[in-house]
Amino acid sequence: MLLFEKSLVWFRRDLRSFDHAALHHALTLSRQVYCAFIFDRSILDELPKYDRRVEFIHASLLELDTALRELGGGLIVRHADAAQAIPQLAAELGVDAVFCNHDYEPQAIARDAAVGTALKKAGRELRTYKDQVIFEKDEVLSLAGKPFSVFTPYKNAWLKKLQTELAPAELPAYEVEALSAHFAPLPPATPAIPTLSELGFEKTNLSELHIPTGMQGGQDLLDDFAERMRNYDSTRDFPAVKGPSYLSVHLRFGTVSIRALVRRALDAIRIGAGGSGAAVWLSELVWRDFYFMILYQHPHVRERAFKPDYDAIVWESGPHAEEIFQAWCDGRTGYPLVDAAMAQLNQTGYMHNRLRMVTASFLIKDLGIDWRWGERYFAEKLNDFDLAANNGGWQWASSSGCDAQPYFRIFNPLTQSEKFDPDGKFIRRYLPQLAKLSGEHIHAPWRVPTMELQMAGVTLGQNYPHPLLQHDEARARTLQRYAVVKKVTVEDERP
């Protein structure tokens, strides 16, 4: 039943023309549907001119526009403050309603509330839908009717709800193509999508890194990963191995559908083709829903610890703290796995998940730096930056978050290196100055005899730094630092 003569779909972090909740509902309820994307100045104006994420979005929008044109519509793109631009565009087009998908970040919630108020004053509606998660907000609750704060019971409840309510073998996709007759053609003289330079940005090394963009890029990665999914549980921790799906940036910007990914995992589990890897990968997708729920239910985590007592910890401060933090950022800690991981982040905008844990633990529990500093740096650098997951990961590493590792669990960067990059293949890729060191010596150059260092072309303090500190000593300081939270147990749970 048609409720609206004309509507507008506002694309945000859902840059695809298929299995799209807001687009489906708009096409179902409206005689004519326009589509728009706003390069939001309130976000973009704070970014550097070289930002891979903006280039990824731009390339993905070009593909989305082409797909929408083939369906009979097209994409109206503007560079403005979204909170003002959407009500203005709605007025220009004379639409009755604006459709979009939920966003769970505090700033986005405030922006959407402002847009909804402006539209209502003009006699228009704002309709929003769940799209980027399977379950949201308070859809998965404990038996007591409260939000979970521990992952495993949340996951169990999530899976039970999926089985009983959504018939996972037929997890529905939102139809678009069959409703394409309701797309409105672009208004006359609609400007072309602005170029990167017109937006104030420049091309990055995105294409040189062979990071696929858009809907087709996401589909290609999913198809490739499907062939490797069964081994995901055994390969995902080794940064030199092609183990991950590499879909995180596509999930972040919605060029893939979370429902399609969950269906793929469930199908593999059901027919036995996914081995144990498919179940582990599905758990990672559930973690994503979990962190979105935590951010929605506890928005204070954006600024403070999930566990308030942990805000009493006294972190390193002053010029020395700034100096060692910068060394961490630059990959100059003297611990090769940490430095190679930071080089990967700085050069590519990507960091392997195991290494995210290692580098975060090193910053917090070896260097004694406030987890918020690291969280902000990752937010600046990660192609797949997502507030909920990034915050959740950093609070996990600092032991201050929900279901976080115990405060006395401190990653040993040397044993992590020996275990997960045993031959030093990953280290050699990002620290070529250490390439000639043997697999035995590459993890701890400071332990290598001077003659062997010289033969390998390594001079500590010149082309590779001395270690900033000794891990065992740093660990002892961390246990003292965390004593303000709880009486320290001297147990060492090295992961």
Please indicate whether residue 316 is annotated as part of the active site. Answer: no
Residues of the chain scoring pLDDT < 70: 166-170, 273-274, 486-495
User: What pLDDT is recorded for position 494?
Assistant: 33
| DSSP three-state, residue 154 | helix
- Indicate the helix (H) or strand (E) that contains 37: strand 30-40
Yes or no: say if 169 and 266 are a contact pair by the CB < 8 Å rule: yes
Residue type, 461: G
Burial call 438-465: b when 16+ CB within 10 Å, e when fewer: eeebbbbbeebeeeebeebebeeeeebb
Yes or no: say if 27 and 54 are a contact pair by the CB < 8 Å rule: no
C-alpha 241/C-alpha 143 separation (Å) is: 41
User: What pLDDT is recorded for position 404?
Assistant: 73
Which residue in 240, 285, 250 sits closest to 265, CA to CA?
285
> What are the pLDDT digits (tens) for 399-426?
999 877 788 889 999 999 999 999 999 9
- Spot the catalytic one: 10, 281, 287, 328: 287
C-alpha 489/C-alpha 492 separation (Å) is: 8
User: What pLDDT is recorded for position 473?
Assistant: 96
Structure tokens at 201: 């940005």
What domains lie within the chain, and their CATH numbers? 4-131 (3.40.50.620), 132-172+213-297 (1.25.40.80), 308-484 (1.10.579.10)
User: What pLDDT is recorded for position 488?
Assistant: 37
- Spot the catalytic one: 346, 353, 418, 452: 353
- Spot the catalytic one: 10, 328, 373, 394: 394
User: What pLDDT is recorded for position 493?
Assistant: 31
How many angstroms separate the Cα of 210 from the Cα of each of 20, 192, 220, 228, 245? Answer: 26, 26, 12, 19, 15
Three-point CA angle 310, 303, 151, nearest 5°: 65
Yes or no: say if 101 and 129 are a contact pair by the CB < 8 Å rule: yes
Structure tokens at 250: 């596509």
- Spot the catalytic one: 10, 158, 328, 371: 371
User: What pLDDT is recorded for position 23?
Assistant: 98
- Spot the catalytic one: 136, 315, 316, 346: 315
Largest CA distance in the chain: 81
User: What pLDDT is recorded for position 168?
Assistant: 55
User: What pLDDT is recorded for position 274?
Assistant: 61
Please indicate whether residue 315 is annotated as part of the active site. Answer: yes
- Spot the catalytic one: 136, 139, 175, 284: 284
User: What pLDDT is recorded for position 170?
Assistant: 60
> What are the pLDDT digits (tens) for 95-129?
999 999 999 999 999 999 999 999 999 999 999 99
Q: What is the DSSP letter of 137?
A: T
Please indicate whether residue 353 is annotated as part of the active site. Answer: yes
Residue 145 CB burial class (10 angstroms; 0-12, 13-18, ≥19): exposed
